[in-house]
Every structure is written in structure tokens, then in C-alpha cells.
Structure 1
């Protein structure tokens, strides 16, 4: 996978066409949604060209590709553009069928998608709590809500009696859920996992996964970026 470079912002030159047979990822180094796609690319060993985008000062050429201005997006050498993190991951799993990450059984795949749908309702709380806390406001109701949702996620692992959400090895759903758990310590939310022992065990196991290890930032690095993000001055190139 090509190394991440400094982010491109307003006034930057548009990159040339995607080289034949390659795939390009438009990303942002600290974006958990883009990390989903990067995990899948890394796990599958897909050769990728990565271009990081300044999400606060988006280049016009990027908005022309994706009017929503979000990352990640994938672009193929034939000019196809695929948006939305979960959709990019499914696309990669179908286009590069070696080392399939989604189960081949339709019901098992549907189960992963249903769990993802549930998890998408948890994600806003990961942001809401630290941002509300930063304003000096009470977060106890939000904390209780997050603890309850994480407890349900913990119960999924208890009921399945497996090491991961899709079985005894890492599958697509684990990569789709993981990025926010990499950040719980940096975002000062680890205490919300106190009543979720199986989920904590899953976190420990995920930290040993080769793709997770290859892309992981330390809690300190995540903290620096997230602080800059909360203050409205995101330091997208921190550490470069």
C-alpha cells in the first residue's frame, strides 16, 4: 500500500488518472471511516495509491468527484468512483475475492450487516460525549446510553461464544467496528467499557491482527489529533 502523504487542500492540483490495474483511495489519516477501507485494503494486500484530503479546506476537484466531500472514496483506473465506507469495503471484497472477509453464506452475511446497522447508532455517542464534555456540560445521560449500547455489543460476543463478531477469526464486521475502539483511550471513553469483559477481550485480540497493527496510531497521537479536531483546527498532517 502506498505511503500516506500530506493532505491536499483548496488550490491543490488534481491528481492524474489512476494507473491501469490499480485502485486509488482518497482518505484522511485520522478518519475512522476511511480506516475501515484501509484495513480491508491492507488485510487483502491490495496495491493502493493513497491520497489524503484536507476535509476542512476541500479541493474543488475532490468535490467534483464526490459532492458530499466525505472520505473514503475509491477510484478505479476506468474512472469509477465508490463512496461510503461500508460500501467501499463490500466492493473491495467482491472485486478482490482472494481472502474473502464477508461470509459466503447469505444469512451469515446478512447477520453481519444487521449488526453493522445496530453499531451505526453507537458511533455518534463516541463523538458526542467528548465534545459535550469539552463544553463543560453534563455527559452522564450520554455515558449511560453508551454503556448500555456497548453492553449489548458485549452480549453479541457472549451469545456467539466466539473470539470475534463473525466467528473465531477476523472477518469484515470486525474491521467495520474496530476504528472507534482504537480511539476509546484517546477520547477518554475507556471507562464506558467497564461492564463489557468480552468486548475488552475482543479489543485485545484485535490489537494483534496484522492489518490493525500495520495501521494503528498510538493513543497519544490520536489524542493530539482529536484535540485539534475538537478545537476546530484539525491537524491532518500531524506526525508527518
Structure 2
């Protein structure tokens, strides 16, 4: 499907209607939350188009779709709008029922949601530590806390004795936590994975996945974008 690679900002014309038989994703190329939805769209082979948004200078028409001004946002040909990354991913899994990513068993599904809650306590460190470093602050305490949280995830995987967090094939939970691990080196946090042998094996296996390969950027593009982001002038079109 046609996608607007370049981001649309304030004053831009709204895109036309969503084509029939397709779903539209409003995204930002480097956003890890929108990355979750991109992974699910690719993993399930869902026909979609993508409109990238300038998150520093949002178009008014986008704020009408999501007053929070955040990505990801999904829009259907009927004009239905869904946002928040876990909600968009669950929605896609229900509506496009072939190749389900969430388990059918209610207990197993609940386990994935619990694990996602556990992981949501880790994501702030991906921002806190680089920002503190940039301000010349001591980050050793934050890094220790992050190491402990990653060790806990590693133990969960070790107890399961499976290749992925939901079993021996990739399921929703793997895609929900992957975007941050893809960026861990860019954030300069790979050393926080010390002592997490199972998690490291999981990361290697994830890198072989077709949806992961289809949605990732070369590390020099990530690094270039994050440099502009850290300087307070994010170039959302970096590398285009």
C-alpha cells in the first residue's frame, strides 16, 4: 500500500479516505510504541497503509483523530479510530483472526498481560538513563535497577524453558516487548543485559523473525535519529 514515509506536520492536508479492504496506521518511524503495531501488521500480513506524523508539530486533523496526539493510531475504511499500542495490537488480532498472536486460553492470555505489565516497569529506564547521562548525572543506581528488572524477565523465560515468552513460537508478548530490545544498543544500555543468558538467546531468535526484519532500521539510521532527538530537534525524516 502507498505510505507517506515523510512525516506530516501542522498545516498539512489530511490524507484521503482509508482504502477498502485496508487499515491505516498513523505512526512515527522511530517510535517503539508504534513499532509494536507495525510488527503485528507485518506478522499477520494485514493490508495497510502508513501515514507518519511529526510529533513535535502535529497536524490539527490528526489531533481530531486522537486528542492525546500520540501514535500509534489505527483507522478503518468505516472511519473507526483505535489508539494506544496494546489496544491497537489486540484489536488487529481479533479482527484479523487468521494467525492469532494471542493465546485462546484465558489463563495464558492473562499471563501475557501480566508479563506486559511487568515489562512496562522497564521501559522508563530506556529514557531515564540516556537523559540523566546527557545531563552529566550519575546513572549507576538507575542502571542497577534496570539490570535487576531484566534479570527478572530472564528468570521468567528460564522457568518457562521455551524459546519465546509465550511458547516455542513468537506470540503477541514477544512483539510487545521487542522494540526496546531492538534499540538497546542505540541507547547504550546493552551492558544492562549482563547475566541474562536466556534473554540474549531470545533476542538472537527474534532477529531471525520476518516481521522483525521487515520493520527494523539499520543502527546508523537509529543512531542518527536519536542524536537529533537528544539535541531536542528530532528529525523524524532522518535517513529518507
Aligned to 2:148: 148
- Per the normalisation by structure 1, the TM-score is 0.98
Are residues 1:197 and 2:197 paired? yes
The answer to whether the 8 Å contact 1:225/1:236 transfers is yes
Aligned to 2:187: 187
3-state DSSP of counterpart to 2:49: strand
CA distance in 1, matches of 2:19, 2:224: 35
3-state DSSP of counterpart to 1:20: coil
The answer to whether the 8 Å contact 2:21/2:47 transfers is no
Q: Provide, for residues 162-194 of structure 1, a one-character-per-residue CA deviation record: whole Å limited to 9, x for no partner.
A: 010000000000000000000011111000001
CA distance in 1, matches of 2:151, 2:2: 38
CA distance in 1, matches of 2:47, 2:166: 26
CA distance in 1, matches of 2:100, 2:182: 23
Aligned to 2:138: 138
Task: Output aligned runs, 1:93-132, within 5 Å.
Answer: 93-132=93-132
Q: Provide, for residues 121-178 of structure 1, a one-character-per-residue CA deviation record: whole Å limited to 9, x for no partner.
A: 1100111101110111110110011000000000011000001000000000000000
CA distance in 2, matches of 1:122, 1:23: 31
Aligned to 1:169: 169
3-state DSSP of counterpart to 1:74: strand
Structure 1: runs of 5+ lacking an equivalent: none
Are residues 1:77 and 2:77 paired? yes
Alpha-carbon distance, 1:21 to partner: 2.3
The answer to whether the 8 Å contact 1:4/1:29 transfers is no
- Per the normalisation by structure 2, the TM-score is 0.98
The answer to whether the 8 Å contact 2:3/2:51 transfers is no
Alpha-carbon distance, 1:3 to partner: 4.3
Alpha-carbon distance, 1:5 to partner: 1.2
Rate the CA distance shift 1:15–1:121 in 2: closer, same or farther, 3 A: same
Aligned to 1:222: 222
CA distance in 1, matches of 2:220, 2:117: 30
CA distance in 2, matches of 1:14, 1:4: 11
CA distance in 2, matches of 1:143, 1:5: 35
Alpha-carbon distance, 1:217 to partner: 1.1
CA distance in 2, matches of 1:219, 1:189: 14
Q: Provide, for residues 88-145 of structure 1, a one-character-per-residue CA deviation record: whole Å limited to 9, x for no partner.
A: 0000000000000001111000000010011111100111101110111110110011
CA distance in 2, matches of 1:198, 1:57: 41
Q: Provide, for residues 19-72 of structure 1, a one-character-per-residue CA deviation record: whole Å limited to 9, x for no partner.
A: 222110000000000000000000011010100000000000000110100000
Structure 2: runs of 5+ lacking an equivalent: none
